[in-house]
Each structure stands twice: as structure tokens, then as C-alpha cells.
Structure 1
Amino acid sequence: MLLPHLAKKIVSEVRRLLDEDIIIVDTNGIIIASTDLERLGNFHEGAFLVCQEKKKRIITKEDESRLKGVKAGINLPIFFHGDVIGVIGITGDPKKVSQYGELLKKMTELLIQESYYTEQLELESRALEAFVFDWVQRREWSTVFYERAQLFGIDLHLPRRVIVGAFFSKNASLQIDIWKYVKKAWNEQGDVIVRWGNDRFLILQTAHIHEKERIATKIKHLQHALSEKYGIPFSFGVGKIVSAKNVHLSYKQAERALHVAKQTNAIIFDEDLRLEMCLEEISLPTREEFIKRTIEPLFNEQELLDTLRTFFEHHLSLKRTAQALHIHINTLHYRLKKIQELTNLNMKQTEDLVTLYLAVRFLDENTKK
């Protein structure tokens, strides 16, 4: 069936080549797309006859008075898989427009084929996404699950590593283009690549124990190529190598690593996380309450808050902190003492010092978000 949105696209494309009025008519003889909007929805008897006879028809001036809804020109059947699915009509002097008939008919049929195969690929992609979604969520595999894997040519005996890539763009066509580029550029036999929402893509990589450095380099090259091509930053989270049945664990690790990676648009392997591994498990409400109980008194003292942040950035070095802030070291001592008084936390005690560090870190991460 020839749908109106595709018919409208065809008319738009064909009009670029020919400065004549064009119509697309369905098999019932109803005009579903036209350069003359007043003809939309009208019955076209000439096109209806073309569908019945499956051959082109020249519409003459005389036909205008005896056939309903027609204008002089030429009507040609549109074939798809051997069947007539509609008619394309060109309005004008038949002697003038007939020379374009076969060319425009062929162009129309090619556009329909392209649209059909694009839709088929989209359906296949969605089916694969649904399969992968089940894979990363499900722990028990059914007979149907094995059959679906076989249908997609996926080997469920190979160990896997989950890689999640992320970017930010609200442009729908750009999102699809990025996914297609990743799919083409990655080019690793046996790997499964799917879109994962609008601004993510997921790679189920067939992994080997001693190839971390190679994969890290490959991801880095992909990240660089994507950033160069699209002018936006990309982040990657990489899970550990697991058996195919434990892909859900690698997926969870990749998501955790990605959360850290997005803060600096980096490539993070979950196995390299240490403190971050624990911090990622702390909920946002808990973080906010922690900040409130520790450094909230500094919120109206921006100078002190900046001093504390710089102190941690320079690994507790008084000399380098003072230099970075362009202040005398005695001034720094005064500010640190003031921080201790306001927060009631002693920087000479390990637990209080760590508490202040975590509070500043949570604050900065929340601010970035």
C-alpha cells in the first residue's frame, strides 16, 4: 500500500526535476499527494483505469470532459513486487510531458523500494534491540530466547563485555546517523551493536581476557572520530568480561562506569573504579542530606568554599594551595580555621577530613548535573 506520507515525499523529490504539476493516486483512484493542494482527496478516473489496466494512459483535452477529475497529461502505473500500488500523473501537454514519463516512473519506484528496505532495516534493528534488552535483563534463558539468538546469528557461548556510549543531542536524524556510523566504524565480527535510547548505543563485545589495551585503543579511536565528525563530546563506560549468561552484570558495571565517564567525557572501565565504585551506590537524596549536614554553613561563604575545594585539588599542600589562590599562607591558615569553626569538622582528624572531601565532591557532582 502506498501511504500518503511517502506519496508526499515522492512528489517533493520529483518536482525538483520537473516544473509541472504532479499527482500520486492510490489504487482506488483517490489523489493522495499533489503539487496542486486543491486536488487532494479528489477521485481521478484516469488513474483508476490505469490501475485496472496496469499500463500507462495518455489523458487528452477531450478526456477532461468525459473522465471525472482528470487533466491533460500522462498517468503511469507504479509497480512494487509485481503489483500496481498506485499511479503517478504529470499534468501538461501530453507531447511535452510524455518524454519524462518512464524516467519519473522508474524514479518513483526506486524511492518506494528505498523506503521499503529502510523500514525493513528499522524493523530488524528494533527486533534486535528488544532481544538485547531481554538479554541484559533476564537471567534465565528459554527455548524461544535461544531461537531468537540463532535468528540474529548471535553466539551465546562466547564471553562478552558490555560497552555503553553516550552523547547529548536532541536532533533525531543526527541520533540515527551516529548509531549508523558507530555500527559501520566498529566493524568487529561477532559483536552486537544496538541503539540504546535516543542518545546512547550499546556494544556487546566478544571479549578475551588479555585484550583490554586493544579495546581501550579502539574505543579511543572511535570517540575521537565521532567527536571530529559530529562536533559533540562522547563518553564511554565499559563493563568487565563475563559469560554470556551474566551479561546483565557487565551491563550494570558499564552503566556505573559511564556515569563517572560523563562527568569528564572520558572512557572509563569499571574495573578501574575504586572510590567511585562505592560513591555511585549512594543515592541522590543521601548525597544532598550529607551536604546539608556538613558544608551547608559554607554556602554563604563562597571564598571559603573555593579555598576548601582548591585545598583538596592540591592534595592538602598548604604551599601549593596558597600559590593557586594567590594568597599568603597565613591567610590560608585563617580560612581553614574558619572552615573548621563553621562546619565543626577538624581537618587534622582523618574522618572529618574525608567527610569534608566527600561533601565537596558530592556538591560539585550535583552542580554539574
Structure 2
Amino acid sequence: MEISMDLAQTIVTEMKEIIGQNINYINTDGFIIASTNEDRIGTLHEGGKKVVETKSDLVIEFDGEFAGAKEGINMPVYFESEIVGVIGITGEREEVEGYGKIIKRMTELLIKDAYANRVISQQKETQRMMVEQLLIAASEEEKQDILKRLNISNVDTSVPRIAVVAKMEDDDMIIDKTEQIFQIFHERLVKYYDNLIAQIYNNIVIILRELPQQELNQILFNITNEVENKLNLNIKIGVGAVVQDILHVKQSYEQACISQSWADVSSDDGIVHYNDLGIELILEEVSKEISDTFVHQVIGSLNHKDLKEYEKIISLFDTHNGSIKKISDVLFIHKNTLQYKLNRLYEKTGFDMRNYQDFLMLKIAFLLYKSHK
């Protein structure tokens, strides 16, 4: 494994902060590729070259004892039983020898950690490319190509699959926490299974093996709770229908995107399944012009404050099947107060939420209002 100059420089800089001595990183050809003394970068260090050859520590007693070397100690650095370089500490023997084993071990740990992060980054990028290819593959040649890549990655291509889309809002607060959100999804849905995950723009897209809806809902509910508790953020999730195999997952993905847009509008727990959509599927086809006209006719007389208040009430009315007692309990108001609010809505709009036909008109109007605002 070859250590990059950037990683080597990071290592020597961090090590100097710990011990206060100048430190060099020497590659396996004997050249200093990183140093806290910039003048030494790129120079040959014969002492370091000897360390690579002998695989042993080398104490240099005085400057110039080896060409390009200064007084200090030089130690081989290993990664998976292979020497990948030499770490050298400049200074009097009594000052630096005691640091030797600690600095060597910390250097090896930093290299190991950097390698692990690089592998994770490569895996993440590979999965992103496979997910994107699954969503755009059209020709038979493209499908066969992605099948080969999936098989190489030990992804079972024949089992039923389902797509999940989680939307992240486009603002600075979300952007700063995107990686943490991604890791929460990865830990709970991908890490131990042959599922795929990718961040595509502001969406996290997961291609899953088929799961019972109740089990999947519990996992997704746990994820939304974790994101809310750890990051103080709300995310909305859409779930597509099950497809027969991974090559047909684009259909499930498109359904998940539709479901996610309605999760933004109408879901209390932030999770909507395509198979649970009803009137929303019809409203998907309504043009903005018709939508705006309908909204204006039904609830156009309400001001912003009214819209916000009755939006909540109509959602609860739907959830609790019109039970005045349950809705008033949730809102922490007396049922007579709720009745007053419903009467006031009737006076302003001409629609009485307690009448089924009027409720349906109001529900559609509020769904369209929220989906286009």
C-alpha cells in the first residue's frame, strides 16, 4: 500500500502537536515525502532506506551519520504485515527514544483508519453508481451490464425488491448533517444485508429486499425517531410497491417518490406507502391551474392563520373518523370550542366538515393547497 503525501503530512503534523519534535515520513524508496521541516521534503534519507531494508529501528547518533539524516530515531511503519514507510523523530536520543513506540503505533493506527475510510468511501460511491444505473438503465445491454456489477458485489438480483426514498430539505442545517442521516439509514437497513443505498441530490434512496410492511414500518419509524432525537430534524419517507426483481426497481422508485411527496403533505408519522395512497393518486394528475382554481373556490376565503389552524383540524378529523371528543382531546380544547371552530369554518367557506360531502371537498382542497404551496 502506498501512503499519499497528504496523509503522510497529516500524520507528521498531528504527531508534532503531541511531542513537540520535528517528524519526517519517509517512503519505501528512502525519500522524505512529508515533514514538519519543509526544507527536508523531497530529500533522500539514507537512514530511512536502511530501516526499510533491515526492517529494524535505527538510532542516528549525529547529523550526517547517514546521508540526508539528522540525529534521532527512525522506525518502520507496517500496514497488514507490509512495511509502507518509515517514521523519523528528529532530536537528541534521550529526548526522542521514549516516544518511539508510541509514535510508531499511532502512525500505524492513523494509516489503518485512513484505509478503512477510503474503503468505505469507495463502497459508498460504488453503491451510488449501481443505484443510479438501476434507475436509468433502459436498453438490454445496460441491464446486462448492471446485472454483472451486482453479481460481482454479491447482490441477489432475483429476489423481490422495494424502493424507499427519504427527502432531506435543501438548507444549510440539513447539508451539514447529511452524512449522519445517511449513516443512520445505512446502519439499520444496509450494513448487514445485500441492500443498496445512495444519496442522490437531497434524497436518500434505498433498494431493499422485500419486507413485511409492519416490519419495514417499524424500522423506518425507528430511523425517523433517531434522526429527530439525535439531529433535531424531521424527514419524510416514501415507500414504493414491491417489484419482482431488482431490474424492475425503477418502477418502485418512481412510486416511492410520489409517496414521499405526499408524506410531506399528509402523513403524521412521516412515512407513506404507495399502496396506501387513494385519492392522492388522482390528485397527482391534477394540473396546477385546476388545483389553484379549486383551492380558491373552496378555501380561498381563509387567511393564513385560518389555513394553518384548519389544516391541522381536518387532518385530525380524518385520523379520528370525525370524533369531536377525540379531536378536542388531541387539541387540548373543550369540544364546544371545537364545534365553534367548525361553525366558523362553515360561515367562512360554506362547507361543514361534519357533513361527509363537505369534508371530502375540504380534504381535497387542503391536500392540493399543501401539495402546491
Report TM bin, short chain.
Answer: 0.7 to 0.9
Q: Check the 8 A contact 1:234/1:265 in 2, yes or no.
A: no
- Does 2:284 align with 1:280? yes
- 1:257 match: 259
Q: Check the 8 A contact 1:46/1:75 in 2, yes or no.
A: no
- 1:269 match: 273
CA distance in 2, matches of 1:85, 1:327: 75
- 2:162 match: 161
Which of 170, 192, 195 is the aligned partner of 1:192? Answer: 195
Q: How does 1:33-182 map to 2 (within 5 A)?
A: 33-34=35-36, 39-40=37-38, 42-43=40-41, 45=43, 47=45, 49-51=47-49, 54=52, 55=54, 56-63=57-64, 68=68, 71-80=70-79, 85-142=84-141, 143-167=144-168, 170=173, 174-182=177-185
Identity rate, percent:
20
Q: Unmatched 5+ residue regions in structure 2?
A: 329-334
- 2:3 match: 2
In the TM superposition, what is the alpha-carbon distance from 1:280 to its structure 2 partner? 3.3
Residue 172 to residue 110, structure 1, CA distance change in 2 (3 Å): farther
- 2:332 match: none
Secondary structure, aligned partner of 2:19: coil
In the TM superposition, what is the alpha-carbon distance from 1:125 to its structure 2 partner? 2.5
Residue 31 to residue 305, structure 1, CA distance change in 2 (3 Å): closer
Q: Check the 8 A contact 1:160/1:204 in 2, yes or no.
A: yes
- Which segment drifts farther, 142-151 or 24-33? 24-33
Q: Check the 8 A contact 2:47/2:74 in 1, yes or no.
A: no
Q: Unmatched 5+ residue regions in structure 1?
A: none
CA distance in 1, matches of 2:14, 2:236: 38
In the TM superposition, what is the alpha-carbon distance from 1:91 to its structure 2 partner? 2.3
Give the alignment's TM-score, normalised by structure 2: 0.72
Per-residue CA deviations over 1:127-164 (Å, capped at 9, x if unaligned) read 12211222233255544332212111122221112122
Q: Check the 8 A contact 1:298/1:339 in 2, yes or no.
A: yes
Q: How does 1:280-319 map to 2 (within 5 A)?
A: 280-282=284-286, 286=289, 290=293, 294=297, 298=301
Q: Check the 8 A contact 1:51/1:86 in 2, yes or no.
A: no
Q: Check the 8 A contact 2:241/2:275 in 1, yes or no.
A: yes
- 2:24 match: 23
Tell me the C-alpha RMSD between the 2 structures: 4.3
In the TM superposition, what is the alpha-carbon distance from 1:84 to its structure 2 partner? 5.2
CA distance in 1, matches of 2:241, 2:136: 16
Give the alignment's TM-score, normalised by structure 1: 0.73
- 2:249 match: 247
Q: Check the 8 A contact 1:59/1:73 in 2, yes or no.
A: yes
In the TM superposition, what is the alpha-carbon distance from 1:115 to its structure 2 partner? 1.3
CA distance in 2, matches of 1:93, 1:119: 36
CA distance in 1, matches of 2:166, 2:342: 45
In the TM superposition, what is the alpha-carbon distance from 1:243 to its structure 2 partner? 1.0
Q: Check the 8 A contact 1:25/1:44 in 2, yes or no.
A: no
- 1:32 match: 34
Q: Check the 8 A contact 2:182/2:199 in 1, yes or no.
A: no
- 1:212 match: 213
Per-residue CA deviations over 1:277-317 (Å, capped at 9, x if unaligned) read 2333446x547854797589758x657767986896668x9
Q: In the comparison of the two structures, how many residue pairs are matched?
A: 347
Residue 192 to residue 10, structure 1, CA distance change in 2 (3 Å): same
CA distance in 2, matches of 1:178, 1:336: 43
CA distance in 2, matches of 1:272, 1:40: 64
In the TM superposition, what is the alpha-carbon distance from 1:271 to its structure 2 partner? 0.7
CA distance in 2, matches of 1:328, 1:114: 62
CA distance in 2, matches of 1:180, 1:220: 16
Q: How does 1:230-241 map to 2 (within 5 A)?
A: 230-241=231-242
Amino acid at match of 1:246: H
